[in-house]
Amino acid sequence: MEHSDSDLTNLSEQAMTSIINEHLELVKHFDFKELRNIVAPITNSGSIFLIGMGRSGLMMQAAAMRLMHLGFDAYVVGETTTPAIQEGDLLIAGSGSGTTATVIRAAKTAKEVGAEVISFTTDKTSELAALSTYVVHIPAAQKEAHNNTISEQYAGSLFEQGLLLFFDALIQTLWKVDGSSAETLYKRHSNLE
């Protein structure tokens, strides 16, 4: 099926408007106290470990980088230089379904050694949520939902985008609490690129 340049422009604009409107709706149903509740555990933790699989994993990698820029010892689970998690540390897990096997195993290990677990998920009754000390519920569609009642986007996209945006809101909050200058954060950016 061929589309004119004008059709493609209109489709792109409609798609962006739809995505933004979904996020505005998501914000209306999000409990920001859940972000407030994890400020102290993050601030008071030893090392921070982040895990997610697939596209959620990419969002968690971005979150780890943001935490590192704020001066936290943040590691992405699965990287070759990631140390062992231990008591006093924190695991932050992102899983839309809350049932991702690798993420569940990591949460169980974290709890076994005495680390706390924070989860970002669409399902606050999931196994991951049950293993978590703190749950941040993102009221988005899971990737298995195909009925378009919450999102017109495909396969969990709203959750993954929400994960990035809500974590960035958390980062902004942590930055304001910390009071570091932008120049201080910039010094922590990679200079080997």
SS3 for the chain is CCCCHHHHHHHHHHHHHHHHHHHHHHHHCCCCHHHHHHHHHHHCCCCEEEEECHHHHHHHHHHHHHHHHCCCCEEECCCCCCCCCCCCCEEEEECCCCCCHHHHHHHHHHHHHCCEEEEEECCCCCHHHHHCCEEEECCCCCCCCCCCCCCCCCCCHHHHHHHHHHHHHHHHHHHHHHCCCHHHHHCCCCCCC
Selected catalytic residue, list 13, 79, 160, 193: 160
Q: Is 160 a catalytic residue?
A: yes
Exposed (0-12), middle (13-18) or buried (19+): which is 155, by Cβ within 10 Å?
Answer: middle
Which residues are catalytically annotated? 160
